[in-house]
Amino acid sequence: KQEVTQIPAALSVPEGENLVLNCSFTDSAIYNLQWFRQDPGKGLTSLLLIQSSQREQTSGRLNASLDKSSGRSTLYIAASQPGDSATYLCAGMDNYGQNFVFGPGTRLSVLP
């Protein structure tokens, strides 16, 4: 059974810092990978999707990469802001192209 780990579980940083969130899968056979943010009491908002033929994606201050050989992904947030405070989840699609497996999330607090 595919399992996903996200490290760290929680992170608190001062505003302006660059930071890296990690995601790893026990089975590296991942078709594509998506990063989400979730604010308290809200649904999941898609941040970045790395398709099967890609190794990374960038959107503004966010950069996500995927190493399929190891089943690991990182989400890099540059110049963090208090508005970045949320829980960040990664999800990998299985190679059958049907279902996603989600990590438990990293709870990020960016202090002003």
Partner 1 sequence: NAGVTQTPKFRVLKTGQSMTLLCAQDMNHEYMYWYRQDPGMGLRLIHYSVGEGTTAKGEVPDGYNVSRLKKQNFLLGLESAAPSQTSVYFCASRFNTGELFFGEGSRLTVL
Distance spanning both ends of the chain, measured CA to CA: 41
Q: What's the rounded Cα separation, in Å, for the pair 48 and 34?
A: 6
Nearest to 89 by CA among 12, 31, 3, 4: 4
- For position 77 contacting partner 1 by CB under 8 A, the verdict is no
Torsion of CA 95, 98, 104, 106, to 10 degrees: 80
- For position 97 contacting partner 1 by CB under 8 A, the verdict is yes
- Chain-centroid distance, C-alpha 92: 10
Question: Applying CB under 8 A, which part among 13-21, 22-30, 34-42, 70-78 lies near partner 1?
Answer: 34-42
Of the residues 23, 89, 90, 110, which one makes contact with partner 1 according to CB under 8 A: 89
- For position 52 contacting partner 1 by CB under 8 A, the verdict is yes
Closer CB to partner 1, 21 or 80, in the complex: 21
Task: Say if residues 64 and 74 touch (Cβ distance below 8 Å).
Answer: yes
Of the residues 11, 19, 49, 62, which one makes contact with partner 1 according to CB under 8 A: 49
Which residues lie near partner 1 (CB under 8 A)? 31-32, 34, 36, 41-46, 49, 51-52, 89, 91, 93, 97-100, 102-105
